[in-house]
């Protein structure tokens, strides 16, 4: 049974999926699907010298030029990857190794405490295996890194800093960082500066040259393209040590056969972003603001996390904490109504832990656990907002009743004596158990943590 079919079962009124999780992955644009389908009909490895290979290479290079133009880079600065996670790993690990080779004193890695796990876990890995010294930069209650904070962290020992990584816009709460100011501070000390612009690339005017970063991550599936294609933009003279080794593709920075259909689709999505971004941002901001108003009207004590609506926040992001609720329970209750949202980053959904982003912003554990993210994209409409507004009040009340029952009688008593609590817990367990088992199996197989996108 498909998702929309499940949402239309007896007892659920919604026959159309209300998808408000575009920060996890966006809808594939029809134009993108068309060109990718066409390209899948062609045969040829872009590294081959025969006619079919040269044709595929031409597709890759023309796509590289399009992506470079949209994001303010030179074509030679675009290194294709399989997505944002690989690009972040290449930037963080590769630049660390390169800087270490130049000067063994360079062990400090500066990153905010609210980074995506692709950066956080790369830094942790370097600390565990390569002797790196992480410096977690604090943010304020809105999730913003102040330039003075970075300046002080660099000044304590600039010669020992290997690299700095600060995400352009937060994937959970939508707060936008002052990337140009931060990159300028790094440049004063000739320290490589990387920014994960995965969330920003589809909604903000991301310009690689203008922002001053040395490395920048983008991915296709957050801008209407396919999963499996991304890029790391690398400024001239920025040469990370490769993470992957093999055929020496992408100037020997990222080996692996290039996926011409996905890359062409990525370029088409980027081209659409370049044409529509300003109008789309205004439309998404209006939907977001209407959602905030309706949620506040239905749940007066709700807390909006992140920067206030305006230039400091992603247009398509609304992130709330609901006092007295568990985020997983809220998510599953909404899901039963055919409304898809998120408890935060999809990479950690299903894991019983509070949001590391909200904790870093100073929230207590209860607030961090009781949060939901609604994120908008090209297919979002006012009808989606109305659907959430019609359901959120009842859903929150049901989750609170279940929480009070569990708190009053203990887990076993609550689930036995209160049907509501039992049903909510059952839905939450069903949604997370498979993911938790997957992570356990991966750890047993070799310590890897397999996660589900962003």
Q: Which pLDDT value is given to residue 368?
A: 94
Strand partners, 373: 319, 342
Annotated active-site residue 341? The verdict is no
CATH 3.40.640.10 fits 30-272, yes or no: yes
Ranges in the chain annotated CATH 3.40.640.10: 30-272
Strand partners, 108: 133, 161
Contact 193, 163 (CB under 8 A): yes
Element (H, E) at 366: helix 365-369
Helices (H) and strands (E) in the chain, counts: 14, 12
Residue indicated by tokens 């020997």 = 252
Contact 220, 226 (CB under 8 A): yes
Model's pTM, two decimal places? 0.88
Q: Dihedral of CA 242/135/312/345: which sign?
A: positive
d(CA 194, CA 88): 9
pLDDT in tens, the chain (454 residues): 344 444 444 444 456 799 999 999 999 999 999 999 999 999 999 999 999 999 999 999 999 999 999 999 999 999 999 999 999 999 999 999 999 999 999 999 999 999 999 999 999 999 999 999 999 999 999 999 999 999 999 999 999 999 999 999 999 999 999 999 999 999 999 999 999 999 999 999 999 999 999 999 999 999 999 999 999 999 999 999 999 999 999 999 999 999 999 999 999 999 999 999 999 999 999 999 999 999 999 999 999 999 999 999 999 999 999 999 999 999 999 999 999 999 965 455 455 578 999 999 999 999 999 999 999 999 999 999 999 999 999 999 999 998 888 777 654 443 444 455 455 545 544 444 444 444 443 333 333 332 334 5
In Å, how far are 33, 167, 277, 295 from 285, measured between CA atoms?
Answer: 26, 21, 12, 15
Tokens of 137: 């930069």
Ranges in the chain annotated CATH 3.90.1150.10: 3-28+277-446
CB atoms under 10 Å from CB of 267, counted, come to 28
Q: What 8-state DSSP symbol labels residue 203?
A: T
Catalytic residue, from 211, 325, 341, 347: name it. 347
CB atoms under 10 Å from CB of 188, counted, come to 10
d(CA 406, CA 418): 9
Q: Where are the alpha helices (DSSP H) in 141-259?
A: 147-155, 179-188, 208-211
CB atoms under 10 Å from CB of 240, counted, come to 26
**Second CATH level (architecture) for the domain 3-28+277-446:** Alpha-Beta Complex (3.90)
Share of the chain above pLDDT 70, in %: 85
């Amino acid at each position: 049974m498909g998702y929309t079919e499940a949402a239309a079962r007896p007892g659920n009124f919604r026959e159309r999926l209300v998808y408000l999780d575009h920060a996890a992955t966006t809808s594939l644009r029809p134009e993108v699907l068309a060109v990718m389908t066409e390209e899948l009909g062609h045969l040829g490895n872009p590294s081959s010298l025969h006619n079919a290979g040269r044709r595929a290479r031409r597709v890759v290079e023309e796509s590289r030029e399009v992506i470079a133009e949209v994001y303010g880079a030179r074509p030679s600065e675009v290194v294709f990857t399989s997505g944002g996670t690989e690009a972040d790993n290449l930037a963080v690990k590769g630049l660390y190794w390169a800087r270490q080779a130049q000067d063994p004193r360079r062990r400090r890695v500066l990153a905010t405490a609210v980074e995506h796990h692709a950066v956080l876990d790369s830094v942790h890995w370097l600390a565990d295996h390569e002797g790196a010294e992480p410096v977690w930069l604090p943010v304020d209650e809105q999730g913003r890194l102040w330039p003075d904070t970075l300046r002080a962290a660099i000044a304590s020992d600039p010669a020992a800093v290997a690299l700095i990584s600060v995400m352009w816009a937060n994937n959970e709460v939508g707060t936008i960082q002052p990337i140009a100011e931060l990159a300028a501070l790094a440049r004063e000390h000739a320290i490589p500066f990387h920014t994960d612009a995965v969330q920003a690339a589809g909604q903000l005017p991301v310009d690689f040259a203008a922002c001053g970063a040395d490395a920048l991550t983008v991915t296709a599936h957050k801008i209407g393209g396919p999963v499996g294609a991304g890029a790391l933009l690398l400024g001239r003279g920025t040469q990370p040590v490769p993470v992957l080794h093999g055929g020496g593709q992408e100037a020997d920075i990222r080996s692996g056969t290039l996926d011409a259909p996905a890359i062409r689709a990525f370029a088409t999505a980027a081209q659409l972003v370049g044409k529509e971004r300003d109008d789309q941002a205004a439309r998404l901001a209006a939907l977001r603001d209407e959602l905030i108003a309706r949620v506040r009207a239905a749940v007066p004590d709700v807390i909006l996390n992140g920067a206030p609506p305006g230039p400091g926040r992603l247009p398509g992001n609304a992130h709330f904490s609901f006092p007295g609720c568990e985020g997983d329970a809220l998510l599953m209750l909404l899901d039963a109504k055919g409304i898809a949202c998120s408890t935060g980053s999809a990479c950690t959904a299903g894991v019983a832990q509070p949001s590391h982003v909200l904790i870093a912003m100073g929230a207590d554990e209860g607030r961090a656990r009781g949060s939901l993210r609604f994120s908008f994209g090209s297919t979002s409409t006012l009808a989606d907002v109305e659907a959430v507004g019609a359901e959120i009040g009842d859903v929150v009340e049901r989750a609170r009743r279940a929480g009070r029952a569990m708190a009053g009688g203990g887990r076993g008593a609550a689930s036995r004596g209160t049907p509501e609590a039992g049903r909510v817990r059952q839905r939450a367990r069903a949604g997370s158990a498979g993911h938790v088992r997957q992570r356990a199996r991966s750890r047993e197989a070799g310590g890897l943590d397999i996660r589900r996108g962003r």
